[in-house]
Amino acid sequence: MTTNIPGRVGYDSMREYMQILEERGLLKRVTGEVDLDFEIGAISYRSLVRNGPGLLFENVKDYPDMPLATNIMYSLDQLAVAFNGERDWVALEERVHEGMRNRLPSKISPTGPVKDVIIKGEEVDLGMLPTPLWHELDGGRYIATTAGVVTIDPQTGAHNMGQYRSMIIDKNHTTVKIMGDFPVGSPPPQGSNYGGASDRSGAAHVLENEAKGLPTPCAIVLGMDPLLVLAAGTAVPTDANGLAEYEAAGAWAGRPVDLVKCETSDILVPANAEIILEGEIVPGERHYDGPHGESSGFYNKNYECFVFRVDTITHRTAPISFGLICGRIEDYPRPLMRSGSILNTLVEKTGYTNILEVHFPDAGAKGVIIIRAKIDHDGQPKEIMDAAWEHLSYRWVIVVDEDCDVHDWNDIMWRVVSFAEPEQHVYLGAVLKRPLGRPGEMDFIPPSRGMGIDATRENKITEFPIPAPSKPTMELLNKVGKRWEELGLS
Protein backbone atom coordinates (compact mmCIF):
# COMPACT_ATOMS: atom_id res chain seq x y z
CA MET A 1 0.00 0.00 0.00
CA THR A 2 1.21 3.52 -0.79
CA THR A 3 2.07 6.10 1.84
CA ASN A 4 -0.88 8.28 2.85
CA ILE A 5 0.54 11.78 2.43
CA PRO A 6 -1.48 15.02 2.09
CA GLY A 7 -2.95 15.39 -1.39
CA ARG A 8 -2.50 11.72 -2.25
CA VAL A 9 -4.89 8.89 -1.47
CA GLY A 10 -3.58 5.92 0.50
CA TYR A 11 -4.44 3.22 -2.04
CA ASP A 12 -3.84 2.19 -5.64
CA SER A 13 -6.72 -0.28 -6.07
CA MET A 14 -10.17 -1.17 -4.85
CA ARG A 15 -8.85 -3.87 -2.53
CA GLU A 16 -6.38 -1.48 -0.88
CA TYR A 17 -9.17 1.07 -0.45
CA MET A 18 -11.34 -1.62 1.18
CA GLN A 19 -8.48 -2.46 3.54
CA ILE A 20 -8.48 1.15 4.78
CA LEU A 21 -12.26 1.06 5.19
CA GLU A 22 -11.97 -2.10 7.27
CA GLU A 23 -9.24 -0.60 9.46
CA ARG A 24 -11.56 2.35 10.18
CA GLY A 25 -14.62 0.23 10.91
CA LEU A 26 -16.31 1.24 7.64
CA LEU A 27 -16.43 -2.26 6.09
CA LYS A 28 -17.67 -5.57 7.46
CA ARG A 29 -16.87 -9.07 6.21
CA VAL A 30 -19.97 -11.25 5.78
CA THR A 31 -18.87 -14.86 6.37
CA GLY A 32 -22.27 -16.60 6.27
CA GLU A 33 -23.30 -18.16 2.95
CA VAL A 34 -25.38 -15.80 0.78
CA ASP A 35 -27.32 -16.43 -2.42
CA LEU A 36 -26.77 -14.44 -5.62
CA ASP A 37 -30.51 -14.64 -6.34
CA PHE A 38 -32.03 -11.60 -4.62
CA GLU A 39 -30.44 -12.17 -1.19
CA ILE A 40 -27.25 -10.15 -1.73
CA GLY A 41 -29.31 -7.33 -3.22
CA ALA A 42 -31.76 -7.31 -0.29
CA ILE A 43 -28.98 -7.41 2.33
CA SER A 44 -27.13 -4.59 0.58
CA TYR A 45 -30.25 -2.43 0.30
CA ARG A 46 -31.33 -2.99 3.90
CA SER A 47 -27.84 -2.08 5.13
CA LEU A 48 -27.61 0.93 2.83
CA VAL A 49 -30.82 2.59 4.03
CA ARG A 50 -29.63 2.06 7.61
CA ASN A 51 -26.31 3.79 6.85
CA GLY A 52 -24.48 0.53 7.47
CA PRO A 53 -20.85 -0.23 6.61
CA GLY A 54 -19.46 -1.49 3.34
CA LEU A 55 -20.00 -5.23 2.88
CA LEU A 56 -17.61 -7.91 1.64
CA PHE A 57 -19.47 -11.16 1.00
CA GLU A 58 -16.81 -13.84 1.43
CA ASN A 59 -19.06 -16.89 1.09
CA VAL A 60 -21.16 -16.53 -2.06
CA LYS A 61 -23.14 -19.68 -2.78
CA ASP A 62 -21.51 -21.69 -5.62
CA TYR A 63 -18.57 -19.22 -5.70
CA PRO A 64 -16.52 -20.08 -2.59
CA ASP A 65 -13.36 -18.36 -3.83
CA MET A 66 -14.94 -15.29 -5.48
CA PRO A 67 -15.92 -12.59 -2.94
CA LEU A 68 -18.24 -9.73 -3.84
CA ALA A 69 -18.26 -6.21 -2.37
CA THR A 70 -21.15 -3.76 -2.07
CA ASN A 71 -21.90 -0.42 -0.34
CA ILE A 72 -18.31 0.81 -0.22
CA MET A 73 -18.63 4.38 -1.55
CA TYR A 74 -21.83 6.06 -0.44
CA SER A 75 -21.37 7.46 3.08
CA LEU A 76 -19.55 10.68 3.82
CA ASP A 77 -17.05 8.76 5.96
CA GLN A 78 -16.24 6.42 3.07
CA LEU A 79 -15.91 9.29 0.60
CA ALA A 80 -13.54 11.13 2.94
CA VAL A 81 -11.33 8.02 2.75
CA ALA A 82 -11.78 7.75 -1.02
CA PHE A 83 -10.56 11.34 -1.56
CA ASN A 84 -8.20 11.43 1.43
CA GLY A 85 -10.09 14.61 2.22
CA GLU A 86 -12.23 16.36 4.75
CA ARG A 87 -15.44 14.86 6.05
CA ASP A 88 -17.34 17.73 4.52
CA TRP A 89 -19.60 17.78 1.43
CA VAL A 90 -18.59 21.30 0.39
CA ALA A 91 -14.86 20.50 0.62
CA LEU A 92 -15.35 17.29 -1.40
CA GLU A 93 -17.32 19.15 -4.07
CA GLU A 94 -14.46 21.66 -4.33
CA ARG A 95 -12.04 18.73 -4.71
CA VAL A 96 -14.15 17.31 -7.54
CA HIS A 97 -14.36 20.64 -9.36
CA GLU A 98 -10.62 21.26 -9.01
CA GLY A 99 -9.80 17.82 -10.38
CA MET A 100 -12.06 18.35 -13.36
CA ARG A 101 -10.26 21.60 -14.16
CA ASN A 102 -6.68 20.48 -13.49
CA ARG A 103 -6.31 16.85 -14.49
CA LEU A 104 -3.33 14.60 -13.96
CA PRO A 105 -1.85 12.70 -16.93
CA SER A 106 -2.02 8.92 -16.67
CA LYS A 107 0.86 6.45 -16.63
CA ILE A 108 0.93 3.65 -19.24
CA SER A 109 2.61 0.42 -18.18
CA PRO A 110 3.44 -2.76 -20.15
CA THR A 111 1.44 -4.94 -17.76
CA GLY A 112 -0.27 -4.93 -14.37
CA PRO A 113 -2.13 -7.03 -11.79
CA VAL A 114 -5.27 -7.17 -13.93
CA LYS A 115 -3.27 -9.35 -16.35
CA ASP A 116 -2.51 -12.04 -13.74
CA VAL A 117 -4.94 -14.42 -15.48
CA ILE A 118 -5.87 -14.24 -19.17
CA ILE A 119 -8.80 -16.25 -20.59
CA LYS A 120 -9.52 -16.26 -24.34
CA GLY A 121 -11.75 -17.78 -26.98
CA GLU A 122 -13.86 -20.81 -26.11
CA GLU A 123 -12.73 -20.65 -22.49
CA VAL A 124 -14.57 -17.35 -21.97
CA ASP A 125 -17.60 -17.87 -19.75
CA LEU A 126 -19.26 -15.02 -17.88
CA GLY A 127 -20.79 -17.58 -15.54
CA MET A 128 -17.39 -17.83 -13.82
CA LEU A 129 -18.06 -14.43 -12.19
CA PRO A 130 -20.55 -14.06 -9.30
CA THR A 131 -23.26 -11.82 -10.76
CA PRO A 132 -26.39 -11.24 -8.66
CA LEU A 133 -30.02 -11.03 -9.56
CA TRP A 134 -30.24 -7.72 -7.72
CA HIS A 135 -34.01 -7.16 -7.66
CA GLU A 136 -36.92 -9.58 -7.60
CA LEU A 137 -38.32 -8.42 -10.96
CA ASP A 138 -34.99 -8.08 -12.79
CA GLY A 139 -34.94 -9.67 -16.22
CA GLY A 140 -31.37 -10.94 -15.90
CA ARG A 141 -28.04 -10.76 -14.10
CA TYR A 142 -26.45 -7.32 -14.33
CA ILE A 143 -22.68 -7.62 -14.43
CA ALA A 144 -22.06 -3.89 -14.89
CA THR A 145 -23.60 -1.69 -12.22
CA THR A 146 -20.42 -0.01 -10.93
CA ALA A 147 -18.29 -0.82 -13.98
CA GLY A 148 -16.61 1.46 -16.49
CA VAL A 149 -17.55 0.78 -20.12
CA VAL A 150 -14.69 2.03 -22.29
CA THR A 151 -14.81 2.84 -26.02
CA ILE A 152 -12.69 4.97 -28.36
CA ASP A 153 -14.10 7.86 -30.39
CA PRO A 154 -13.73 6.93 -34.09
CA GLN A 155 -13.41 10.63 -34.98
CA THR A 156 -10.87 11.81 -32.42
CA GLY A 157 -9.32 8.70 -30.89
CA ALA A 158 -10.33 9.90 -27.41
CA HIS A 159 -11.32 7.33 -24.79
CA ASN A 160 -14.72 7.53 -23.13
CA MET A 161 -15.50 5.62 -19.94
CA GLY A 162 -19.19 5.63 -19.05
CA GLN A 163 -21.13 3.91 -16.31
CA TYR A 164 -23.65 1.92 -18.34
CA ARG A 165 -25.64 -1.08 -17.21
CA SER A 166 -24.92 -4.46 -18.80
CA MET A 167 -27.07 -7.61 -18.55
CA ILE A 168 -25.64 -11.07 -19.28
CA ILE A 169 -27.28 -12.67 -22.34
CA ASP A 170 -25.25 -15.89 -22.53
CA LYS A 171 -21.74 -17.14 -21.77
CA ASN A 172 -20.02 -14.50 -23.90
CA HIS A 173 -22.58 -11.79 -24.71
CA THR A 174 -24.05 -8.93 -22.67
CA THR A 175 -26.22 -5.93 -23.37
CA VAL A 176 -24.78 -2.42 -23.10
CA LYS A 177 -27.48 0.12 -22.30
CA ILE A 178 -26.29 3.63 -23.13
CA MET A 179 -28.85 6.41 -22.60
CA GLY A 180 -31.85 4.43 -23.92
CA ASP A 181 -33.16 2.68 -27.01
CA PHE A 182 -31.12 3.00 -30.22
CA PRO A 183 -32.66 1.05 -33.11
CA VAL A 184 -30.30 0.13 -35.93
CA GLY A 185 -29.80 3.21 -38.10
CA SER A 186 -30.29 5.74 -35.28
CA PRO A 187 -28.30 8.99 -35.59
CA PRO A 188 -25.55 9.48 -33.00
CA PRO A 189 -26.67 11.43 -29.89
CA GLN A 190 -25.07 14.74 -29.10
CA GLY A 191 -23.46 14.86 -25.66
CA SER A 192 -24.02 13.27 -22.28
CA ASN A 193 -27.31 12.93 -20.44
CA TYR A 194 -25.75 13.74 -17.04
CA GLY A 195 -26.39 17.46 -17.11
CA GLY A 196 -25.72 18.15 -20.77
CA ALA A 197 -21.94 18.34 -20.90
CA SER A 198 -20.64 18.60 -24.45
CA ASP A 199 -18.64 15.36 -24.49
CA ARG A 200 -19.50 12.55 -26.93
CA SER A 201 -20.88 9.43 -25.30
CA GLY A 202 -20.15 5.77 -26.04
CA ALA A 203 -23.42 5.60 -27.98
CA ALA A 204 -22.05 8.08 -30.53
CA HIS A 205 -18.95 5.90 -30.98
CA VAL A 206 -21.03 2.76 -31.54
CA LEU A 207 -23.51 4.33 -33.95
CA GLU A 208 -20.84 6.02 -36.06
CA ASN A 209 -18.94 2.76 -36.42
CA GLU A 210 -22.15 0.88 -37.11
CA ALA A 211 -23.05 3.25 -39.95
CA LYS A 212 -19.89 1.99 -41.67
CA GLY A 213 -20.61 -1.64 -40.83
CA LEU A 214 -17.80 -1.70 -38.27
CA PRO A 215 -17.76 -3.21 -34.78
CA THR A 216 -16.82 -1.03 -31.82
CA PRO A 217 -13.93 -2.27 -29.65
CA CYS A 218 -15.07 -2.17 -26.04
CA ALA A 219 -13.84 -3.05 -22.56
CA ILE A 220 -15.89 -3.37 -19.38
CA VAL A 221 -13.81 -2.69 -16.27
CA LEU A 222 -15.02 -4.38 -13.07
CA GLY A 223 -13.71 -3.67 -9.58
CA MET A 224 -12.12 -0.25 -10.06
CA ASP A 225 -10.93 2.00 -7.26
CA PRO A 226 -13.70 4.33 -6.04
CA LEU A 227 -12.48 7.49 -7.78
CA LEU A 228 -12.46 5.71 -11.15
CA VAL A 229 -16.02 4.54 -10.47
CA LEU A 230 -17.01 8.12 -9.73
CA ALA A 231 -15.31 9.37 -12.89
CA ALA A 232 -17.12 6.76 -15.01
CA GLY A 233 -20.49 8.03 -13.77
CA THR A 234 -19.66 11.72 -14.27
CA ALA A 235 -19.82 13.89 -17.37
CA VAL A 236 -16.10 14.67 -17.70
CA PRO A 237 -15.61 16.80 -20.84
CA THR A 238 -13.09 15.47 -23.34
CA ASP A 239 -9.72 17.22 -23.57
CA ALA A 240 -6.72 17.05 -25.89
CA ASN A 241 -5.16 14.11 -24.05
CA GLY A 242 -8.20 11.96 -24.75
CA LEU A 243 -8.20 10.18 -21.37
CA ALA A 244 -10.63 12.48 -19.59
CA GLU A 245 -12.12 10.19 -16.94
CA TYR A 246 -8.77 8.62 -16.06
CA GLU A 247 -7.08 11.98 -15.70
CA ALA A 248 -9.85 13.50 -13.57
CA ALA A 249 -9.67 10.45 -11.27
CA GLY A 250 -5.89 10.83 -11.15
CA ALA A 251 -6.19 14.46 -10.07
CA TRP A 252 -8.69 13.54 -7.34
CA ALA A 253 -6.34 10.79 -6.16
CA GLY A 254 -3.19 12.93 -6.25
CA ARG A 255 -1.37 10.29 -8.32
CA PRO A 256 -1.55 9.12 -11.93
CA VAL A 257 -3.88 6.29 -12.90
CA ASP A 258 -1.79 3.32 -14.06
CA LEU A 259 -3.09 2.02 -17.40
CA VAL A 260 -2.39 -1.05 -19.55
CA LYS A 261 -3.45 -1.88 -23.10
CA CYS A 262 -6.12 -4.49 -23.70
CA GLU A 263 -5.15 -7.86 -25.17
CA THR A 264 -7.44 -7.49 -28.19
CA SER A 265 -7.60 -3.74 -28.91
CA ASP A 266 -5.88 -0.41 -28.30
CA ILE A 267 -8.19 0.44 -25.42
CA LEU A 268 -6.35 1.45 -22.24
CA VAL A 269 -7.75 0.13 -18.95
CA PRO A 270 -6.78 0.52 -15.28
CA ALA A 271 -3.88 -1.82 -14.46
CA ASN A 272 -5.06 -2.32 -10.87
CA ALA A 273 -8.69 -3.18 -11.65
CA GLU A 274 -10.00 -6.57 -10.59
CA ILE A 275 -11.50 -7.83 -13.88
CA ILE A 276 -11.59 -6.72 -17.53
CA LEU A 277 -14.07 -7.97 -20.14
CA GLU A 278 -12.72 -7.32 -23.65
CA GLY A 279 -14.46 -7.59 -26.98
CA GLU A 280 -16.61 -5.74 -29.50
CA ILE A 281 -20.05 -4.20 -29.69
CA VAL A 282 -21.57 -6.03 -32.65
CA PRO A 283 -22.86 -3.81 -35.49
CA GLY A 284 -26.48 -4.25 -36.52
CA GLU A 285 -27.50 -6.29 -33.47
CA ARG A 286 -29.78 -5.30 -30.62
CA HIS A 287 -31.13 -7.16 -27.60
CA TYR A 288 -33.91 -6.50 -25.12
CA ASP A 289 -32.59 -5.41 -21.73
CA GLY A 290 -34.50 -5.52 -18.48
CA PRO A 291 -36.55 -4.93 -16.54
CA HIS A 292 -34.02 -3.66 -14.03
CA GLY A 293 -34.49 -1.58 -10.87
CA GLU A 294 -33.06 1.87 -11.56
CA SER A 295 -32.10 5.08 -9.80
CA SER A 296 -35.58 6.52 -10.39
CA GLY A 297 -36.81 4.04 -7.78
CA PHE A 298 -38.73 2.10 -10.45
CA TYR A 299 -38.07 -0.78 -12.83
CA ASN A 300 -36.93 0.18 -16.32
CA LYS A 301 -36.85 -1.78 -19.57
CA ASN A 302 -35.10 -1.04 -22.88
CA TYR A 303 -35.80 -2.78 -26.17
CA GLU A 304 -32.95 -1.67 -28.42
CA CYS A 305 -29.73 -2.17 -26.47
CA PHE A 306 -26.32 -2.77 -27.99
CA VAL A 307 -24.85 -6.28 -27.89
CA PHE A 308 -21.31 -6.77 -26.54
CA ARG A 309 -19.44 -9.95 -27.51
CA VAL A 310 -16.80 -10.86 -24.92
CA ASP A 311 -13.68 -12.39 -26.50
CA THR A 312 -11.26 -12.17 -23.56
CA ILE A 313 -11.40 -11.96 -19.77
CA THR A 314 -8.39 -10.86 -17.75
CA HIS A 315 -8.34 -10.63 -13.98
CA ARG A 316 -6.23 -10.40 -10.88
CA THR A 317 -5.39 -13.46 -8.84
CA ALA A 318 -8.40 -14.15 -6.57
CA PRO A 319 -10.46 -11.27 -8.03
CA ILE A 320 -13.07 -9.39 -6.00
CA SER A 321 -16.32 -8.45 -7.75
CA PHE A 322 -18.03 -5.14 -6.95
CA GLY A 323 -21.62 -4.15 -7.67
CA LEU A 324 -24.55 -2.16 -6.39
CA ILE A 325 -28.29 -2.56 -6.11
CA CYS A 326 -29.71 0.37 -8.07
CA GLY A 327 -32.57 2.32 -6.52
CA ARG A 328 -33.71 5.62 -5.12
CA ILE A 329 -30.80 5.27 -2.69
CA GLU A 330 -27.74 3.43 -3.93
CA ASP A 331 -24.01 3.01 -3.42
CA TYR A 332 -23.06 5.99 -5.55
CA PRO A 333 -22.89 9.63 -4.34
CA ARG A 334 -25.02 11.13 -7.09
CA PRO A 335 -25.38 14.51 -5.35
CA LEU A 336 -21.59 14.88 -5.09
CA MET A 337 -20.73 13.93 -8.66
CA ARG A 338 -23.65 15.20 -10.75
CA SER A 339 -24.34 18.48 -8.99
CA GLY A 340 -21.13 19.97 -10.40
CA SER A 341 -21.99 18.89 -13.96
CA ILE A 342 -25.45 20.45 -13.68
CA LEU A 343 -23.99 23.70 -12.28
CA ASN A 344 -21.47 23.99 -15.11
CA THR A 345 -24.17 23.40 -17.72
CA LEU A 346 -26.57 25.93 -16.25
CA VAL A 347 -23.97 28.68 -15.88
CA GLU A 348 -22.55 28.00 -19.35
CA LYS A 349 -25.97 28.01 -21.02
CA THR A 350 -27.42 31.02 -19.19
CA GLY A 351 -24.50 33.25 -18.28
CA TYR A 352 -25.86 33.52 -14.72
CA THR A 353 -22.53 33.59 -12.93
CA ASN A 354 -24.36 34.47 -9.71
CA ILE A 355 -25.54 30.82 -9.53
CA LEU A 356 -23.19 29.42 -6.91
CA GLU A 357 -24.32 25.82 -6.45
CA VAL A 358 -26.79 23.35 -7.91
CA HIS A 359 -27.61 20.42 -5.66
CA PHE A 360 -28.97 17.14 -7.04
CA PRO A 361 -30.48 15.29 -4.05
CA ASP A 362 -31.43 11.61 -3.89
CA ALA A 363 -35.04 12.27 -4.84
CA GLY A 364 -35.45 10.24 -8.02
CA ALA A 365 -34.11 10.64 -11.54
CA LYS A 366 -34.98 13.95 -13.20
CA GLY A 367 -36.83 14.92 -10.03
CA VAL A 368 -35.60 18.00 -8.18
CA ILE A 369 -32.68 20.40 -8.05
CA ILE A 370 -31.88 23.08 -5.48
CA ILE A 371 -30.24 26.20 -6.92
CA ARG A 372 -28.24 28.43 -4.55
CA ALA A 373 -27.66 31.90 -5.97
CA LYS A 374 -26.74 35.47 -5.06
CA ILE A 375 -29.99 37.19 -6.02
CA ASP A 376 -29.58 40.77 -7.24
CA HIS A 377 -33.13 41.82 -8.15
CA ASP A 378 -36.74 40.92 -7.50
CA GLY A 379 -38.00 38.35 -10.00
CA GLN A 380 -34.60 36.85 -10.73
CA PRO A 381 -35.43 33.52 -9.03
CA LYS A 382 -38.19 32.98 -11.61
CA GLU A 383 -35.75 33.85 -14.40
CA ILE A 384 -33.36 31.21 -13.05
CA MET A 385 -36.18 28.63 -12.89
CA ASP A 386 -37.15 29.32 -16.50
CA ALA A 387 -33.53 28.88 -17.56
CA ALA A 388 -33.30 25.60 -15.67
CA TRP A 389 -36.46 24.26 -17.35
CA GLU A 390 -35.15 25.36 -20.74
CA HIS A 391 -31.72 23.78 -20.47
CA LEU A 392 -32.16 20.91 -18.01
CA SER A 393 -34.74 18.16 -17.60
CA TYR A 394 -35.46 18.45 -13.87
CA ARG A 395 -39.12 18.99 -13.02
CA TRP A 396 -38.95 20.56 -9.56
CA VAL A 397 -36.71 23.61 -9.06
CA ILE A 398 -36.20 25.34 -5.72
CA VAL A 399 -34.18 28.58 -5.68
CA VAL A 400 -32.57 29.68 -2.39
CA ASP A 401 -30.22 32.44 -1.27
CA GLU A 402 -26.46 32.14 -1.13
CA ASP A 403 -26.43 31.52 2.64
CA CYS A 404 -28.51 28.31 2.40
CA ASP A 405 -27.01 24.90 3.14
CA VAL A 406 -28.44 22.98 0.19
CA HIS A 407 -27.47 19.65 1.80
CA ASP A 408 -29.81 20.36 4.73
CA TRP A 409 -33.49 19.76 3.92
CA ASN A 410 -34.46 21.49 7.18
CA ASP A 411 -32.70 24.66 6.02
CA ILE A 412 -34.34 24.43 2.59
CA MET A 413 -37.84 23.84 3.97
CA TRP A 414 -37.42 26.63 6.55
CA ARG A 415 -36.90 28.97 3.61
CA VAL A 416 -39.85 27.55 1.68
CA VAL A 417 -42.27 28.07 4.57
CA SER A 418 -40.75 31.43 5.56
CA PHE A 419 -40.30 33.21 2.24
CA ALA A 420 -42.57 31.63 -0.40
CA GLU A 421 -46.07 33.11 -0.72
CA PRO A 422 -47.98 30.41 -2.67
CA GLU A 423 -49.78 32.94 -4.92
CA GLN A 424 -46.63 34.89 -5.72
CA HIS A 425 -43.62 32.59 -5.47
CA VAL A 426 -44.79 29.10 -6.49
CA TYR A 427 -44.99 28.37 -10.22
CA LEU A 428 -46.04 25.47 -12.41
CA GLY A 429 -43.00 24.13 -14.21
CA ALA A 430 -42.49 23.90 -17.94
CA VAL A 431 -43.95 20.85 -19.66
CA LEU A 432 -41.15 18.42 -20.38
CA LYS A 433 -41.09 16.12 -23.40
CA ARG A 434 -42.01 12.52 -22.66
CA PRO A 435 -40.06 9.70 -24.29
CA LEU A 436 -42.04 7.57 -26.71
CA GLY A 437 -43.41 4.52 -24.92
CA ARG A 438 -44.10 1.00 -26.17
CA PRO A 439 -47.09 -1.21 -25.36
CA GLY A 440 -46.45 -3.34 -22.30
CA GLU A 441 -43.16 -1.72 -21.32
CA MET A 442 -42.38 -1.33 -17.62
CA ASP A 443 -40.71 2.07 -17.81
CA PHE A 444 -42.11 4.58 -15.35
CA ILE A 445 -42.65 7.92 -17.06
CA PRO A 446 -42.86 10.61 -14.37
CA PRO A 447 -45.29 13.54 -14.46
CA SER A 448 -44.47 15.83 -17.34
CA ARG A 449 -44.15 18.93 -15.17
CA GLY A 450 -43.22 19.88 -11.66
CA MET A 451 -43.13 23.15 -9.75
CA GLY A 452 -40.79 26.02 -9.08
CA ILE A 453 -40.48 27.58 -5.65
CA ASP A 454 -38.83 30.93 -4.99
CA ALA A 455 -37.59 30.39 -1.44
CA THR A 456 -35.26 33.41 -1.47
CA ARG A 457 -35.52 36.50 0.70
CA GLU A 458 -32.84 38.79 -0.80
CA ASN A 459 -34.20 41.63 -2.98
CA LYS A 460 -37.74 40.24 -2.67
CA ILE A 461 -40.42 42.92 -2.54
CA THR A 462 -42.70 42.13 0.40
CA GLU A 463 -45.33 43.98 2.42
CA PHE A 464 -43.12 43.95 5.52
CA PRO A 465 -39.31 43.91 5.73
CA ILE A 466 -37.81 40.45 6.20
CA PRO A 467 -35.41 40.39 9.17
CA ALA A 468 -31.95 38.87 8.92
CA PRO A 469 -31.80 35.15 9.80
CA SER A 470 -30.37 34.27 13.21
CA LYS A 471 -27.74 31.78 12.06
CA PRO A 472 -23.98 31.87 11.49
CA THR A 473 -22.86 32.91 8.02
CA MET A 474 -21.71 30.27 5.53
CA GLU A 475 -18.18 31.67 5.76
CA LEU A 476 -18.10 31.18 9.53
CA LEU A 477 -19.64 27.71 9.31
CA ASN A 478 -17.05 26.65 6.72
CA LYS A 479 -14.27 28.08 8.90
CA VAL A 480 -15.27 26.10 11.98
CA GLY A 481 -15.94 23.05 9.81
CA LYS A 482 -12.27 22.93 8.90
CA ARG A 483 -11.45 22.55 12.62
CA TRP A 484 -13.92 19.71 13.23
CA GLU A 485 -11.36 16.91 13.50
CA GLU A 486 -8.92 19.09 15.42
CA LEU A 487 -11.65 19.73 17.98
CA GLY A 488 -12.42 16.03 18.27
CA LEU A 489 -15.95 16.44 16.91
CA SER A 490 -15.82 14.20 13.83
Q: What is the pLDDT of residues 202-255, one digit of tens each?
A: 999 999 999 999 999 999 999 999 999 999 988 888 888 899 999 999 999 999
CATH fold, domain 334-481, is UbiD C-terminal domain-like (3.40.1670)
Asked if pLDDT for residue 5 goes beyond 60, the answer is: no
Rounded distance between C-alpha atoms, residue 15 and residue 97, angstroms: 26
**Band of residue 114 on the pLDDT scale cut at 50, 70, 90:** very high
The pLDDT of residue 314 is 98
Please tell me the chain's helix, strand, coil percentages from 3-state DSSP, rounded to the nearest 5. Answer: 25, 25, 50
Decide: 206 and 155 in contact? Cβ < 8 Å.
no
Asked if pLDDT for residue 77 goes beyond 50, the answer is: yes
The pLDDT of residue 360 is 82
Rounded distance between C-alpha atoms, residue 384 and residue 342, angstroms: 13
Return the higher-pLDDT residue of 72 and 296.
72
Return the higher-pLDDT residue of 82 and 3.
82
The pLDDT of residue 279 is 98
The pLDDT of residue 198 is 46
Decide: 370 and 354 in contact? Cβ < 8 Å.
no
The pLDDT of residue 233 is 87
Rounded distance between C-alpha atoms, residue 271 and residue 278, angstroms: 14
Least confident among 50-59, 78-87, 260-269, 458-467? 458-467
Residue in 424, 361, 352 with CA at minimum distance from that of residue 394? 361
Asked if pLDDT for residue 462 goes beyond 90, the answer is: no
The pLDDT of residue 364 is 58
Asked if pLDDT for residue 435 goes beyond 90, the answer is: no
Alpha helices in 369-456 (DSSP H): 380-391, 409-419, 422-425
Return the higher-pLDDT residue of 364 and 430.
430
Rounded distance between C-alpha atoms, residue 182 and residue 335, angstroms: 28
Please name every residue paired with 234 in a beta bridge, in sequence order, or none if there are none: none
User: Per residue in 122-135, pLDDT tens?
Assistant: 999 999 999 999 99
User: Per residue in 13-40, pLDDT tens?
Assistant: 999 999 999 999 999 999 999 999 999 9
- Percentage of residues in the chain having pLDDT higher than 70: 91
Mean predicted lDDT score pLDDT of the chain: 87
Domain boundaries, the chain: 14-322, 334-481
Asked if pLDDT for residue 422 goes beyond 50, the answer is: yes
**Beta strands 148-152 and 173-176: pairing type?**
unpaired
3-state SS assignment for residue 224: coil
Cβ density class 143-178: b for 16+ within 10 Å, e for less: bbbbbbbbbbbbeeebbbbbbbbbbbbeebbbbbbb
CATH of domain 14-322: 2.30.110.10
